[in-house]
Amino acid sequence: MKVYIATLPNGFFGSAGCSWQSLDVDKLSALLDYDVEIITINDLMNIEFDPDDTVIYTSSDEENIRLYLRDVMHFINKKCRILPNYNMLLAHENKGFQELFRTELGFGNLRGNYFFDIDDSKLTMPKVLKTISGAGGSGEYLAKNKSDISTIKNKYFEVSSKRKIIKLQRRIKLKSSEFSIYSYRHKGFSLFVEQEFVPNLSNDFKVLVFGDRYYGLKRTVGKNEFRASGSSLFECVKPPKEVLDFARSVVDKIDNPYVSLDIAQSDDGCYLIEFQGTNFSPLALLKCSSRYVYFNNKWVEEENNKDLEENFAYALNTFLSYN
């Protein structure tokens, strides 16, 4: 088996935490237990891969790069193994796909719905509404009543004044059946996710998983807020056993060498708020002095070396050796 590390054309490989910071791909390559070649994503369509080869790549928060990767990796995924897996690429910066994915596989413990027409919103209030992209709590709203829904509708689902004038003109010229079709087409759509609201949360947990290594941050819900994401109020802690056990069950479903999980815990259990399998912030790994490994049916605390490339290599070596 040959392993290819595919960087962006400028040599950038994300997941270092900031858009101006890159993983050291030379160091990562040296730490992998395989024959490794470093290429760029522009080389991928010109390589004759063997079925047992593996391409390691990263997504991007830049939309055009991400869409390019979705197209290219669709074909590379048919030729050899890609890491992260293709589902994780589709889930990156796409909470709608995340919702469909966990509904299909039946994990997460949180009721949700993905829609483009706000009139197809199904969950009872209070509920959380989210744009499908955005990090740090951006594009997230707590809808408690019809007034909150109207505010979201006016912001995201309204058509332009020009379109409203055109619709009036079309109403005069078109048959009623034709105008009904036309009017729906220009009703005003936006991609959104709604999720069950978990009340009375004072914090949630950011759990990073690299192979069998688990890293946890406790994130506090800010004043007059309903979410911990984006609050910048975090501390390194050992997540409760229930949170670590829940994270481990989610990792089994996602089937990726590394993953970032946002987990809420209430008296009724744990809930998966969001997840990412590529290009996520490694803050918990870089800040916390300990990590946790499940060994002999219990969680064992280990010292964290805070070495990002070593952890990525460890996760990849572990995953490839078992898959």
Q: pLDDT tens digits for 106-164?
A: 999 999 999 999 999 999 999 999 999 877 678 899 999 999 999 999 999 999 999 99
DSSP state of 138: T
The mean of the pLDDT values for the chain is 93
Residue 138's pLDDT is 80
Segment 234-254 mean pLDDT:
94
* Percent over 70 (pLDDT), the chain: 97
* Percent over 90 (pLDDT), the chain: 86
Residue 55 corresponds to which tokens in the numbers above?
């391409």
Q: What topology does CATH give the domain 200-322?
A: D-amino Acid Aminotransferase; Chain A, domain 1 (3.30.470)
Task: Count CB neighbours of 321 within 10 A.
Answer: 10
Q: What's the CA gap between 98 and 104, in Å, rounded?
A: 10
Provide the 3-class DSSP secondary structure of residue 58: coil
Residue 7's pLDDT is 97
Residue 231's pLDDT is 59
Residue 203's pLDDT is 87
Residue 146 corresponds to which tokens in the numbers above?
């019809």
The H-assigned helical ranges of 47-192 are 63-79, 86-91, 95-105, 146-156, 161-173, 176-185
Domain boundaries, the chain: 2-91, 111-197, 200-322
Residue 7 corresponds to which tokens in the numbers above?
């960087």
Residue 17's pLDDT is 73
From the number of C-beta atoms within 10 Å of its C-beta (0-12, 13-18, 19+), residue 51 rates as: exposed
Residue 230's pLDDT is 59
Q: pLDDT tens digits for 267-293?
A: 889 999 999 999 999 999 999 999 999
Asked if residue 224 has pLDDT above 70, the reply is no
Residues 6+ apart with CB under 8 A from 28: 5, 13, 309, 312, 313
- What residue has token string 């790069």? 65
Residue 221's pLDDT is 83
